[in-house]
Amino acid sequence: MYKIDEQLLSFSKQQYYELLKLEKLNQLNEEIEDVLRRYDEIACAQINWEMKEQYFSVLNDYCTGKFDEPDLSIKLSDISESASKLHKIIRQYNFVISPHLKCLKLDCKIDELICKCDEYTEELNEAEWKQERKDLTADFQTVKDEIHRDSKVILTLIVEN
């Protein structure tokens, strides 16, 4: 967590703007590309933070049993992909926003949750027989419990702000 806080505290809108200008001029070396990549990650995480109400709605619906893990994965991935697309558009115009201190934490939690849902769904979809699916569902109850718990952690993170 310290590394995340350090990255956020060292974020400079002016430096990000300068890095974007250097990229357009094809004047990036490997070290500068790494810095730009880190800034891009923070900027995209901030866009995800700005979409926190959408995440909240989806996670709240999941926690109240309105849909299951495969649908949760799809819905979260859709929001995340929208954030990435928006980041690309904003980046083209050198529009730089200041990050919220919890944007990277939320971004990491969302990514972890999507991965857990995807793994669970993939295993379930690969099951060929009804009994095998039933057995997998029982075996994955721990994973389902983790997904539910992680969803509540993310909801709390969003509500606290």
pTM: 0.81
Residue pLDDT, tens place only, 12-32? 999 999 999 999 999 989 999
The residue assigned the tokens 């649908």 is 71
Residue pLDDT, tens place only, 70-102? 888 899 999 999 999 999 999 988 888 889 888
Task: Collect all residues with Cβ–Cβ distance below 8 Å to 1 and sequence separation of at least 6.
Answer: 105
The full set of domain ranges for the chain reads 2-159
Residue 95 per-residue DSSP state: -
Contact status, residue 55 vs residue 154, Cβ threshold 8 Å: yes
Q: Nearest Cα to 42, choosing from 4, 85, 95?
A: 4
In three-state secondary structure terms, 84 is: helix
Contact status, residue 79 vs residue 55, Cβ threshold 8 Å: yes
